[in-house]
Amino acid sequence: MKKLFQAKKAMFFTLIAILIVGLLVLTFSTKIDIKIKGHLPVLERRITAVNTFVHDIENTYLERMLRISILSAFNALRKEQGTFRDFLTRDEFEAVFAELAINGTLDVDGEKKKILEDYNLNSMLKELARISKDELHVKSIFEPLSLNVFQNNETGPWNIGINFTINYFVDGDLAAWNRSSNIITQFSIIGLEDPLYHYSSNQDLLEDVHKNIITADNFNDNWTIENFALHVKGQTYRYDPKAPSYLLRLINDYNASSCCGIESMINLNNMVAEDNKNATFVDYCYWSDICIGEDYGNYIWTIEGDKFGKQNITYYGEERDALPEHEFYRFKLDTYHIGRYNLTEYTADLCKYDFTLQQWNGTGCV
């Protein structure tokens, strides 16, 4: 009986102990739950803020930085023409351009020369990492992998495509993002300076014409003599499959780009030399021999019209000055472009220069 009482007493104390422990656990768990619930909105806001930052990196910041660095690199390459104008291949251009856009440097005589101090990708990415650390207390690491620029049927003649790949890591303490991003985008060349004029015209054209701005014509292939005169005067650009693209112009390459070739006309009013040159006055043709041959008709023609007048190709100096003045005096065009601009009726009985015979002939020669 005594042993039974002791067993019941032991069981009672055991139950009391279990109850006390359970109560302590319940109390402690409740306090933890209350503490976590109290901090949960703060944690959620923190993760949401960092996630928004990551989203903005991929959808806003990187593309904006790309545009800035690409435009800066184009301008820098044009200005540094003595360093890069003799590229042998397109691959060389690709490597140099990527180096300039990403790091802001150009290889000059075997040494890295800093060309773009602030507007290269790495400088802007470092600034973004600094701001994210100071303002968001987030650690950001960026690693650009590759950058290519291109023109093709998709971009057409008036846009340049960009293909950029980058790895980046964002650590917000509570969560981390490790991403690889490939960005393919385009931007317009309208408003950029034509590098072909900068390379080729230093001795030929007036100073303010060295910066010929690319502007597309709005004639929609509705070519009349009046529209063509406006095209020449304004030095606007049109697509032509025989002409070089903007990227080819950038590396001083006059070869045809079937998808993306553009051309403008040399305006004789801006010439200070060689106004008697036996060449067609299409820009890339004028500064090269590429438009001499069967593909372009073997002839260049003078043009008669309201703005052009009867051309004189034999008198120069004071004798020429005594002749009637016309806005586009001595303007010449090859047979191919005569057809492209719908000007055949203005050349039929006029002067033409035969590249085979190397002489002018025709009823219009004075």
pLDDT tens digits for 170-181?
998 878 889 999
Domain range for 63 is: 42-188
Residue 107 lies in a domain: yes
Is residue 201 located within the same domain as residue 176?
A: no
CB atoms within 10 A of CB 111: 8
| Residue 9 included in any domain | no
Q: What is the pLDDT of residues 21-44, one digit of tens each?
A: 443 344 444 444 444 344 556 677
pLDDT of residue 207: 42
Question: What is the 8-class DSSP label of residue 253?
Answer: -
Neighbours of 296 (CB within 10 A): 21
* 98 and 220 belong to one structural domain: no
What are the structure tokens assigned to 307, written together? 């703005």
Across 205-231, average pLDDT: 73
Shared domain check, 353 and 220: yes
Q: What is the pLDDT of residues 111-165, one digit of tens each?
A: 888 989 889 999 999 999 999 899 888 999 999 999 999 999 999 999 999 999 9
b/e 149-168 (16+ beta carbons within 10 angstroms → b): bbbeeebebbbbbbebebeb
Residues 320, 303 share a domain: yes
Distance CA 366, CA 359 (A): 14
- Whether 16 is in a domain gets the answer no
The Cα–Cα gap between 17 and 161 comes to: 76
Arithmetic mean of pLDDT, 221-229: 86
- Using the 3D structure, point to which of 153, 188, 223 is the last residue of a domain: 188
Amino acid 297: pLDDT: 84
Asked if the structure places residue 11 within a domain, the reply is: no
Task: Say yes or no: 351 and 209 in one domain.
Answer: yes
Report how many domains make up the chain: 2
SS3 146: strand
- Best-predicted range by mean pLDDT among 42-56, 192-206, 247-261, 348-362? 247-261
Q: What are the structure tokens assigned to 245, written together?
A: 């693209």
Question: Are 254 and 108 members of one domain?
Answer: no
Question: Does residue 154 sit in the same domain as residue 244?
Answer: no
Q: Both 172 and 230 in a single domain?
A: no
pLDDT tens for residues 280-291?
999 999 988 888
CA–CA separation, 279 and 283 (whole Å): 10
Written as six digits, the tokens of 9 are 């007493």
Q: Is the pLDDT of residue 166 over 70?
A: yes
200 and 74 in a common domain: no
Q: Looking only at Cα atoms, what is the longest distance across the chain?
A: 148
Q: What is the pTM of this model?
A: 0.78
Asked whether residue 37 is assigned to any structural domain, the reply reads: no
In a domain, 97, yes or no: yes
The residue count for the chain:
366
Both 272 and 210 in one domain: the answer is yes
pLDDT of 10 over the 80 cut: no
